[in-house]
Amino acid sequence: MMKKQLIAIILVLLCPVLLQAKQDVPSIKVNGTAVRKAVPDELRWRLTIKSVDNSVPVVSQKHAEEVGATLKALEELGQKSEDVLTTGMQLRENMIFRNNTRVREGYLALTTVTFTQNRIEDYLAYWLRLAELTNLTIERVDFAVSNHKEIVDELRIEALLDARQKAEKLVQAVGGQLEEPLVIEEVPNGIQVKAMGNAMAESYRNGGGTPPVSPGTIEIEARIAAVFRMSNS
């Protein structure tokens, strides 16, 4: 028991010394950034199907039919069933405010449907067909890039190289020599995706007329923080 206590005391005494030794290593911390613009090649849809009725059995049956009609419409449009996701299914009291009072008005059934459309040029056909369906709301449609992960992986490397170049210039400016990295980490919220520009889809450029959507370009940014050891030249 005494031996364990002695070891613990020694470790406590050594911690500040080790920490100070680590802090005494000459180093430089820099951030690196890499940016790439990409033309969106897919659309991500989010739909909500909302059914209301005074009877639970009736609203349940009605909602099942309306969800089924939505899935069938997507299948007819060429959307693969394995790429369509139904989530957030609910069956509950439909509460509304009337005269500043929260009251029940029948029952509510709710389902969210999400899917990715790989052919942007078919957007209008999807929009018009879904608009025909009962109790369906198109919550949002977002442009996206299908190879987003691959782009981000490449940008992380480019951001790290950018950080090293910055560090080399700064260290050389004070007559030092840049050495190996001590810490490499992704900056919190370091992956940013921004919609940019007003470029038109190629299919609409060639076909003439005014397109119902403008995909523009998406700007993807990666940021890396790195600490490098430095020494005298």
Average pLDDT over residues 23-42: 90
Do 190 and 132 have their domain in common? no
Tally of residues, the chain: 233
* Residue 9, in any domain of the structure: no
Residue 182: the pLDDT is 95
Do 60 and 123 have their domain in common? yes
| CATH number assigned to the domain comprising residue 152 | 3.30.110.170
Do 93 and 182 have their domain in common? no
Residue 23: the pLDDT is 55
pLDDT tens for 107-122 read: 999 999 999 999 888 9
CA distance 49 to 135: 6
Give the Cβ contact number of residue 129 at 10 Å: 14
Tell me: pLDDT of 10 over 50.
no
Domain boundary among 144, 168, 198: 144
pLDDT tens for 161-178 read: 999 999 999 999 999 999
Do 55 and 70 have their domain in common? yes
Domain boundaries, position 185: 26-39+148-232
pLDDT tens for 64-97 read: 999 999 999 999 999 998 899 999 999 999 888 8
Q: What is the mean pLDDT of the chain?
A: 84
| CATH number assigned to the domain comprising residue 114 | 3.30.70.2970
Given a contact cutoff of 8 angstroms between Cβ atoms, the answer to whether 115 and 140 are in contact is no
Which residue matches tokens 């980490």? 185
Given a contact cutoff of 8 angstroms between Cβ atoms, the answer to whether 227 and 23 are in contact is no
Helix ranges (H only) for the chain are 2-23, 56-76, 123-131, 148-173, 202-207
What is the tally of structural domains in the chain?
2
SS3 146: coil
- DSSP label at 174? T
Burial of 44 (0-12, 13-18, 19+ CB in 10 A): middle
CA distance 16 to 93: 61
* Residue 128, in any domain of the structure: yes
Average pLDDT over residues 142-151: 92
Burial of 201 (0-12, 13-18, 19+ CB in 10 A): buried
Given a contact cutoff of 8 angstroms between Cβ atoms, the answer to whether 212 and 123 are in contact is yes
Residue 188: the pLDDT is 80
Tokens of 211: 């397109």
Residue 128 sits at the vertex; the CA angle it makes with 124 and 133, to the nearest 5 degrees, is 145
pLDDT tens for 125-134 read: 999 999 999 9
